Amino acid sequence: MIVDGVFSGGGIKGFAYVGAIQALEEKGIKFDRVAGTSAGAILATFIAAGFNAQELEEIFDELNLKVLLDPPKLTREFPFLKWLNLYRRFGLYKGKALENWFLQKLATKGIYTFGDLPKDSLKLVASDLTNGKIIVLPDDLHHYNIDGSTFPISRALRMSCGLPFFFEPVYLKHESTESVIVDGGVLSNFPLWIYDNGHKKRPVLGMKLSSASEDRAPHEINNAIQLFEALFTTMQNAHDNRYIARRHEKNIIFIPVEDYSTTQFDLDEKTKNKLISIGKERTIQFLKSWSPVW
């Protein structure tokens, strides 16, 4: 079966996607077009670049997550200055190491820019905070006078994965203005609307790093930190939850990983394997009764 795939954000919890792709490959399900936000953007890109499930597992198994965290040199020498960098640069980490890692991995498949992929095969979501809008890459780059076909995919991934206050944002210059671009999950954490838009060419299979809506516990809000967490989670999902109807949920694999942290960059092997196992088991269970609705 050939499908279009859409993958939600979820940070480090995205390891669960590796197991999900393993289960799909075993059933002979392949992707023609893919789209995603943040962690989902990473998976979508690697699929579009031609990585199979075995290669994905090897890539993420060998990955030392801590090397992707690159604080400015001055804050490494004087840790207390990280808060000054957060104030001035809007992020604790530069994000260059993350972008370089994307570049190196994609280069092994000869993929550098969107022009190296079949047209419309990959869509990544980011957030333009300056103009208050969702942007789809590479489609919307012409609004910034940028040729999407020559734009580095590694840079687009860094934009889609730029968790606010964690990684420094990416800046896109346009005439006399400069747009601040951050994680796509701020405005659309699960962009099912990209392909499930009334003009579908084939079944659209979604993967979401959360439980189904009826299984989610309500937010517990007893202090300011819990209030912020609830605020950010609501902001991430409100747009997408309003879009997703019951008929859409029949085509979505919900992977329940809420108990894991989005930014747990010190993830151990046991936890990595547990996430992969959850992704595979939930996908196998889903496929037993899945009948594509489209």
pLDDT for 291: 86
Higher-pLDDT residue of 107 and 240 is 107
**What pLDDT is recorded for position 198?**
72
pLDDT band, residue 231 (cuts 50/70/90): confident
Q: What percent of the chain has pLDDT over 90?
A: 58
Mean pLDDT, residues 123-145 taken together: 96
Residue type, 123: K
Q: Any idea which residues carry the catalytic annotation?
A: 38, 183
Would you call 4 exposed, middle or buried from its count of C-beta atoms within 10 A (0-12, 13-18, 19+)? buried
- Residue 42: is it exposed, middle or buried by C-beta count within 10 angstroms (0-12/13-18/19+)? buried
Question: Is the pLDDT at 247 greater than 80, yes or no?
Answer: no
**CA angle, corner 86, sides to 81 and 87, nearest 5?**
100
Instruction: Give the angle 257-262-265 at the CA atoms, nearest 5°.
Output: 115
Residue 80, pLDDT score:
63
Question: Among residues of the chain, what percentage have pLDDT more than 70?
Answer: 82
Q: How far apart are CA 157 and CA 103, in angstroms?
A: 10
